Amino acid sequence: MLNHHDRLPEEQSNPGLIQELRATYRLRPEEQQALARVHERLAHGSQPLPPLDAVRIDDLARARQRVTPAGPPTPISQFRRRWLTRLGAYAAAMLVVVLVGSLALTFSLIHHTSVGSPPSHDMHLVLEPVKGSHPSRADMQAASEILSQRFSSFGLSLVSTNVLTTNGHLAIWVELPHFGGDEQQTIATLVQTGHLEFWGTGPGPVPLNTTFDPARYAQYNPGGRPRFTGRDLDPNALSVSQDQAGRPQIDFEMQGSSIDAFGSFTAHTIGEYLTITFDRKVIESAVIESAITGPAVITGDFTQQQANAVVADLKAGSLPVALTVVTG
């Protein structure tokens, strides 16, 4: 029943209409009885159903008479009953087979999981713009899409990336499966801005894994800008291979007009060092032995997984915003 607090002004001003409406919806007596019976059965679910009254039994008998004529069972009905019995037996056997099969599969999966294959449950990351930057939602959306491509290129399926607002700040929420190995380092590489830059560094090498300072090599790089960047690379030619010692290396090739430009640059700097940075961290610093007009390699100091992550970054492109992992 509706109480007074629950009544609407429209109900109070149209009492006649509401009364008629209730009457219209009111169930007919036989429907009410049927509903009451259903309620009763539900309330006493574990108890046997009450016996049918005489009238209903008569109705049932009449209805049966109409469907099948009375008398001894015919051969057809016996045949059908036998078939039904067989069908029941087959169904039971199938059920047992399915149950046993699924149990075996479950145990096998548990066993495999416990002997060292990577756990399959998901993890999530929250990525925020680095402090002091205020990217637009469009930039964050673009970054989210590039990240999605990177994870996919790295070989992870079922990764979802979404831009959301937390405490008034934009963030990217990433859900991905565990993939084993050095997950933290690999994820850190996959969410890097991903600027690959080629610098001339004169007669001396630059130590690997140090932060590159363009100001120190301004004389070899006009305007303090890199000679080439990741955009000059052909994404289809990027791959990870292994050198003769089995160490992972990144194969690359220039594209378009950069092929000739790189060939010309390397032809004029033979004997000098070419230093390659990834987000300004030195990943390669090697002497140029001849003009490079075709495929080349970055030997670096990568694990297989890191090399794959760098290639995934380069293929998908650099992010329009620098991100930092807030939770992972």
Partner 1 sequence: MLEADGPEQQALRQEERSQLRAALQKLPPVQQHILQLRYGDGLRCAEIALLLDKREEAVRKLLSRSILALRQVYQLNRQTEGESSC
**Binding site residues, partner 1, CB under 8 A:** 1-3, 6, 8-11, 14, 17-18, 20-25
In the complex with partner 1, the residue whose CB is nearer, 22 or 137, is 22
In the complex with partner 1, the residue whose CB is nearer, 2 or 104, is 2
In the complex with partner 1, the residue whose CB is nearer, 20 or 40, is 20
Whole-angstrom CA distances from 240 to 75, 196, 248, 298, 306 are 75, 16, 7, 10, 10
Do 123 and 176 form a contact (C-beta atoms < 8 A)?
A: yes
Q: How far apart are the first and last CA of the chain?
A: 52
In the complex with partner 1, the residue whose CB is nearer, 2 or 97, is 2
> How, if at all, do strands 239-242 and 248-252 pair?
antiparallel
What is the smallest separation between the CB atom of 1 and partner 1, expressed in angstroms?
A: 7
What is the smallest separation between the CB atom of 213 and partner 1, expressed in angstroms?
A: 58
Q: Looking at the chain, how many residues does it have?
A: 328
Do 269 and 288 form a contact (C-beta atoms < 8 A)?
A: yes
Dist CA 6 CA 21 (whole Å):
17
In the complex with partner 1, the residue whose CB is nearer, 9 or 48, is 9
What is the smallest separation between the CB atom of 17 and partner 1, expressed in angstroms?
A: 6
Residue whose pair of structure tokens reads 């009449």 in the numeric block: 62
What is the smallest separation between the CB atom of 160 and partner 1, expressed in angstroms?
A: 24
What is the smallest separation between the CB atom of 105 and partner 1, expressed in angstroms?
A: 37
Residue whose pair of structure tokens reads 């159903």 in the numeric block: 49
